[in-house]
Chains A and B, each alone.
Chain A
Amino acid sequence: MQPKKVIQSIAELPTMPSTIGTMAWNETGDWRYLTPLITNKLAPCSQNCPAGIPIPSYLNALRDGSVQRSLALLLTHNPLPGLTGRLCYHPCQAKCIRKKIDQAISVQKIERFLADIGTEVKIEKSKTADKRAVVIGSGPLGLSCAFYLSSWGCRVVIMDPSNQAGGALLDLPPEKIEPQVLVNEINRLTLLADIKLETGAVIDFDAPGEPLAKADLVILDPTSLSEDFTAFSRAVAFDPFDDSIVTGDIIAVTLPKKLRPFKAPMIAHYIAVGRLVAQKTSDSLVRPSGQQDLRQPTPDLPRQAANVENIKVERFLGSGLAAKAEAKQEGTWDRERTLREAGRCLSCGTCNLCLQCISFCPDASVRLDERETSVVVDLEHCKGCGICAYECPRGVITMEEIST
């Protein structure tokens, strides 16, 4: 590291104190402690979502006016958006980067809008499905579990001894969840996933009816059944977070302490747990080795979730979903306002070459690569100041300890 020229006389001194050429020879990269890492990643909203929903992807579809695709993307991860749109505490909004500029995107209002869109057409299921499952109880966990089990190729019947579907949701006052909304949500879920729902069902293992008798697996829903429900005595407890193998034909899903008793604002957690149960149980039921896994990234591991662009929504819901007109609910935004709101999403986690990082780098060490398709860091000169990471409006740049 040596300059090319050394000043020998007063006359050679520049009047303005400056270098007499570039400082490119001075490779300041070895001053660096933290290194900017530029990679697309899950958006902070999705990282903070209990159900791991890739929020920017469905907001982007909505912004582009593709309501059907947006709804499909949302339903793929959250089959009960009308409930989350009313009950969830929306930790996604708490982490919204847009807050730095004006205010967080109202994911809640967008969920509500999408939930009010009528749907028809069922999921195209694998024709090879011959495994049968019965979910007893139709609380949010049971509904979610049934939805995913069915989506992934299982024949599912929901049996609820109560005369009305909804489980613990039925205890909520109408100002929290309008009864008709609950009915609509459950109807769509069962329609889409081709689930048979029996209310007022008689659960008798000693003299089982057809669904119970033919079931390969029975799952008891803790968000619907009271603890004194008789079938619990026959069931094997199954903790979806700890247990990976299903033992027994009847399993009683156990919930972590924070989810007991049922708490409405935690709705997304129950949906996520239902999906996790479906994932673990379907491993042993549905998918023979070698078959392609169509399932989404597991919601309990959102940080490891794969690139959101890889979602196989077409295989899952896209082709089987037809969006109809919006059924206007009071308190739900109209289409125009919702699309405008979705347009405010910065698509965090995905570099869209806004080049803020390049503008702000004080050492001209962040640049476009030669093909001008991505941003790269000149590690010979980058001092690791972190301004690029601070200025990146989409959280694509993070400062990491990287040993070289």
Chain B
Amino acid sequence: MKKVLMGTEAAALAAKLARVQVISAYPITPQTVIVENLADMIGGGELKANYMPVESEHSALASCIGASMTGARAFTASSSHGLAYMHEMLHYASGARVPVVMVNCNRALGPPWNLYCDHTDSLAQRDTGWIQYYCADAQDVLDTILIAYRVAERALLPIMINLDAFYLTHTSEVLDVPDQEKVDVFLPPYQPSTKLSVDDPKTFGNVCGTDLFSSIRYKRHCDTLSLEKLWDETSAEFQGHFDRLHPTVETYRTEDADACIIGIGTSTGAMRLAADRLREEGLRIGCIRLSMIRPFPRERFQRAIANVKHLIIIDRDVSFGSEGIVAQEVKAGLFEHRGDVKLTGFIAGVGGNDVSVETIVPLVRQAISGAGTAVEAGKTFWAEVLP
């Protein structure tokens, strides 16, 4: 069935299609539509789930962790400061190995106060052990939430699906909405082999001495690494059911490209248009969208850049005192693999500026020619700053 939906509406609908059993969330712009829609669905009887209103995002995720440990499929959504407030529980969720799926709407962190798109909020949570997926459009949102539950429940790891504030959360698209019956076939109910239950008493998250801690961490690391493959397998399964593919790395005209533009989120669409336009000028440009940042999709990424000589990364985030976070990730993915690749990192679109074709084309030209208006600072170039 075709429907016109915003990214947030797609997220709520996906949670409903996934038959989530427990929802606990605290509203925050631009995520609010998601929780409002879900509350309406529950209130209207369309969705049979427990909605737990809580006083904070910390409690929201804590509730989801508890629910998930009892074997319920749990969902939450947040953004920016809300996500930051969840930080402790993010570690707890991945440590407890609960397959919670969360939607995060990428919004700038204040001060100065800003409601608009910025990836620093979720990328700053890179090391919490969550799987991070960055959506390009609303169909991606709807589909990957379903895939995420399948993957999370197989791997027993939490997954964060990221949506660009407003560019994705509040813009409408025509979506292909799968039938509930077909979703139920792809995504069966969550039936964990171990859960918090009075019939099988166990202590969860208990004290662990030095003897086992390393081994438990090692096991989790291995499971997280193997998730790249698991995602692609599950994504292929999803394609079998619904004929749509959502890979960890998406490439565009990379085969013969000399240089590739790399980004995450919605601006990767504009990057493809920019590549087309630059190709009209005779520059052989391709695009790589890193849809997954954790685990870093090392294998697919390295395949994608096999013939590329210059990588141009546009970050909508920054690690102050270093450079763009995606640029760091790309460098780490290249290290000891391709010493011959030139790399140029830009910071653009932080705090909501549109990263349009008009933004991208001059940055690529600057990366190639060395001349342009983006200002060098450390190892990165800042677009859109005052002189």
- Chain A contacts for B219, CB-based, 8 A: 10, 13, 15
Q: Could you list some 13 contacts between A and B, CB below 8 A?
A: A7-B212, A13-B215, A15-B156, A15-B223, A16-B97, A17-B208, A18-B194, A18-B202, A18-B206, A19-B202, A19-B203, A23-B202, A364-B201
Q: Bound state CA distance, A364 and B196, in angstroms?
A: 14
Query: B95, B194, B203, B215: which contacts A10 (Cβ < 8 A)?
Result: B215
* Interface membership of chain B positions 202-242, coded 1 if the CB is closer than 8 angstroms to chain A and 0 otherwise: 11111010001001101100010000000000000000000
Q: B96 in the interface, Cβ–Cβ < 8 Å?
A: yes
- Check if A17 sits within 8 Å of B96, measured CB to CB: yes
Q: How far apart are B301's CB and chain A's nearest CB, in angstroms? A: 27
Interface centre among A16, A19, A22, A24 (most CB of B within 10 A): A16
- Check if B156 sits within 8 Å of A16, measured CB to CB: yes
- Check if B216 sits within 8 Å of A13, measured CB to CB: yes
* Interface membership of chain A positions 266-281, coded 1 if the CB is closer than 8 angstroms to chain B and 0 otherwise: 0000000000000000
- Chain B contacts for A14, CB-based, 8 A: 194
- Chain A contacts for B215, CB-based, 8 A: 10, 13
Q: Bound state CA distance, A22 and B203, in angstroms?
A: 7
- Check if B218 sits within 8 Å of A18, measured CB to CB: no
* Interface membership of chain A positions 1-45, coded 1 if the CB is closer than 8 angstroms to chain B and 0 otherwise: 000000100100111111111111000000000000000000000
- Check if A17 sits within 8 Å of B194, measured CB to CB: no
Query: A18, A20, A22: which contacts B205 (Cβ < 8 A)?
Result: A18
- Check if A17 sits within 8 Å of B206, measured CB to CB: yes
- Check if B97 sits within 8 Å of A15, measured CB to CB: yes
Q: Bound state CA distance, A14 and B96, in angstroms?
A: 11
- Chain B contacts for A13, CB-based, 8 A: 212, 215-216, 219
Q: Bound state CA distance, A24 and B218, in angstroms?
A: 29
Q: Bound state CA distance, A332 and B223, in angstroms?
A: 72
Q: Bound state CA distance, A10 and B215, in angstroms?
A: 7
Q: Interface on B for A, CB 8 Å cutoff?
A: 69, 95-98, 156, 194, 201-206, 208, 212, 215-216, 218-219, 223
- Chain A contacts for B205, CB-based, 8 A: 17-18
Q: How large is the interface on A (under 10, 10 to 19, 20 to 34, 35 or more residues)?
A: 10 to 19
- Chain A contacts for B216, CB-based, 8 A: 13, 17
Q: Bound state CA distance, A10 and B213, in angstroms?
A: 11
- Check if B201 sits within 8 Å of A22, measured CB to CB: yes
- Chain A contacts for B202, CB-based, 8 A: 18-23
Supplied contacts A15-B97, A18-B204, 10 more A-B pairs, CB within 8 Å: A13-B215, A15-B194, A15-B219, A16-B69, A16-B194, A17-B95, A17-B97, A17-B204, A20-B202, A24-B201
- Chain A contacts for B218, CB-based, 8 A: 10
Query: B96, B201, B208, B212: which contacts A16 (Cβ < 8 A)?
Result: B96
- Check if A23 sits within 8 Å of B203, measured CB to CB: yes
Q: Bound state CA distance, A10 and B221, in angstroms?
A: 13
Q: Bound state CA distance, A18 and B69, in angstroms?
A: 11
- Chain A contacts for B208, CB-based, 8 A: 17
Q: Bound state CA distance, A13 and B206, in angstroms?
A: 14
Q: How far apart are B69's CB and chain A's nearest CB, in angstroms? A: 8
Q: How far apart are A9's CB and chain B's nearest CB, in angstroms? A: 9
Residue of A nearest to B212 (CB): A7
Q: Bound state CA distance, A19 and B215, in angstroms?
A: 15
Residue of B nearest to A363 (CB): B203
Q: How far apart are A15's CB and chain B's nearest CB, in angstroms? A: 5
* A-B interface, 9 closest residue pairs, ranked by CB to CB distance from nearest: A18-B204, A19-B203, A22-B201, A16-B97, A23-B203, A18-B202, A19-B202, A15-B156, A15-B97
Q: How far apart are B91's CB and chain A's nearest CB, in angstroms? A: 12
- Check if B204 sits within 8 Å of A16, measured CB to CB: yes
Residue of A nearest to B194 (CB): A16
Residue of A nearest to B222 (CB): A10
Q: Bound state CA distance, A364 and B218, in angstroms?
A: 33
- Chain B contacts for A22, CB-based, 8 A: 201-203
Q: Bound state CA distance, A20 and B203, in angstroms?
A: 8
Q: Bound state CA distance, A19 and B204, in angstroms?
A: 7
Query: A7, A19, A24: which contacts B206 (Cβ < 8 A)?
Result: A19
Q: How far apart are B67's CB and chain A's nearest CB, in angstroms? A: 14
Q: How far apart are A8's CB and chain B's nearest CB, in angstroms? A: 10
- Check if A18 sits within 8 Å of B203, measured CB to CB: yes
Residue of B nearest to A14 (CB): B194
